[in-house]
Structure formats: C-alpha cells, structure tokens
Amino acid sequence: MPEIGRLAVCLALLFAAYSVVTSILGGVRRRPDFVRSGEHAAFAVAGLVVVAAAILLRALLQHDFTLEYVAAYSSSSLPTQYTVAALWGGQKGSLLFWAFMLSLFTAIVQIQNRDRNRALMPYVTATLMTIAFFFLALLTFVTDPFERLPVAAREGADLNPLLQNYWMMLHPPSLYTGYVSASVPFAFGIAALASGQLGDQWIRSVRRWALFSWSFLTLGNLLGARWAYEVLGWGGYWAW
C-alpha cells in the first residue's frame, strides 16, 4: 500500500504540471478545450492526493512500523485520536495534509465556477496547480512520507508528548484550513491581472473565501492561544 501512496503522489505531480501548462495555453489561445482539460487534471490531482492521504492515515492506524513516518510519530499504545493527529504531527505528514486540503479546495473552486468566471478560470486553475506542484514536488523529491525503514521498527517513537492534547485535533487543522483557503483569493487576484479582468467581479467571487480563510485563521490562533496555557513551558499566549 505505501508504494501505491507514493505512486499517487508522483502521478498527482504530473497531473498538476499538465494542468498548469494546458490551463495557461487555454487562456492565452482562448481554447476552451484546453481549459477544460486543465480543470479535469486538477480533479485528478484531488483524487490522487486523497488516495495518498488515506493510505498514510491507514498506515498510522494499522501501526505499520515499516514506514519511517509511522515509526517516528506514533506507537501501538497511542490513543486513536492522537494517531489520527499524527497525520499532521510531523513535517512529511503536514506537507501531505496541506496538499490534500489544497487539492480539495481547488476541486470546490472548479465546481463553483463551472459556468461563471470563465475568463478567469484558466489562470485560477494554473495558479492553484502551481502551488500544488510545489508541495507535491517536495513530497516526491525531498521528503517522502512513504519512505520505508531498512528494518521494520518493533515499536514507534510515539507522538511528541506536548502534542498529545485534545487541542492538537483542533488547532492545526484550523490553521491549515485558513492558510490553504487563502490560496483561492490569491489565485483569483493573479487571474484578474493575467486576464485583464480588473473589475470587481473577481472580488465578489472570492469574498466568501476570504471571510472563510480569515475566520479559520482567527479560530486557529484563538485555539492555539488557549492551548499555550495548558502546556508547561509555553508560557501562555503573550509569551507564546
């Protein structure tokens, strides 16, 4: 199964690159078929990243200590909720979780704008897929979450004790949701510049996304501030 997860990430990288190229060509040459092809590739990226994230989560829940990431951030005695949180408890898992959320938000944007903002969408898709390509390239060439150990560990090193807290289930996902969803207004801004559509239509289109992003960033900071009072050494919000 880990090999399937690695393959899914590699294929997602290729589809993201394809989506960027075809979307830009479709926008520049006014080729709706290219634009649709780029959007379909973005949906493929979403599906593949979902598969990869599900496989890593499955490995964590099944305590597959042949994987370096699972052995480093979980153990057989770790409660289930913290085993799930281990998905974003380390760098490799965090990058995959980021790519997972970005691909889902991209798919939602494609659905929302299937019949509107057509002049903007080639560049929106290209921008979001460029960001996705960056994270997928890291997961493919720099930090592989599906890396196997030469010899399987008998037991995992466990999640950092400071992170074994119920706020771990709420604080990081809230911040990730806020940070990643901010990519959508950014993508529409780039699209407005690239297409010359500088009216207020794109601003109206992303208003809810901007409010969504800022709401979750605010929530994440409040949750983190509260969490800081429960961990010895973090010193509360103002010292944190």
Residue 112 vs residues 47, 105, 167, 217: alpha-carbon distances, Å? 18, 10, 32, 23
Q: What's the CA gap between 181 and 82, in Å, rounded?
A: 25
pLDDT band at 210 (very low <50, low <70, confident <90, very high): very high
DSSP classification of residue 67: B
Looking at residue 64, its amino acid is D
pLDDT of res. 1: 83
Check whether 125 has a pLDDT greater than 60: yes
Q: Is the dihedral of CA 22, 137, 107, 1 positive or negative?
A: positive
Check whether 183 has a pLDDT greater than 60: yes
The contacts found for 21-28 with CB under 8 angstroms, 24 or more apart, are 23/122, 23/123, 23/125, 23/126, 23/129, 24/122, 24/123, 24/126, 26/122, 27/122, 27/123, 27/126, 27/194, 27/195
What is the residue whose two structure tokens read 């800081």? 228
Cα dihedral 9→170→68→44 (10° resolution): -10
Instruction: Kindly report the average pLDDT of the chain as a whole number.
Output: 93
Looking at residue 217, its amino acid is L
Q: Is 148 helix (H, G, I), strand (E, B) or coil?
A: strand
Which residues have CB under 8 Å from 12's CB, separation 6+?
44, 45, 48, 49, 52, 99, 103, 132, 136
The residues that bridge with 67 in the sheet, in sequence order, are 148
Check whether 240 has a pLDDT greater than 60: no
Q: What is the DSSP string of 73-102?
A: H--TTS-HHHHHHGGGTSHHHHHHHHHHHH
Vertex 36: Cα angle to 35 and 42 (nearest 5) = 95
Please state the pTM of the whole predicted model: 0.93
pLDDT of res. 199: 85
Q: What pLDDT, in 10s, does the model give residues 5-53?
A: 999 999 999 999 999 999 999 999 999 999 999 999 999 999 999 999 9
Greater model confidence, 209 or 199: 209
Check whether 234 has a pLDDT greater than 70: no
pLDDT of res. 171: 94
In 3D space, the residue among 12, 105, 7, 116 whose CA is nearest the CA of residue 55 turns out to be: 7
Check whether 80 has a pLDDT greater than 80: yes
The token pair that represents 204 in the structure block: 């109206």
Q: What pLDDT, in 10s, does the model give residues 98-114?
A: 999 999 999 999 999 99
Q: What pLDDT, in 10s, does the model give residues 190-203?
A: 999 999 888 888 99
DSSP classification of residue 72: H
The residues that bridge with 148 in the sheet, in sequence order, are 67
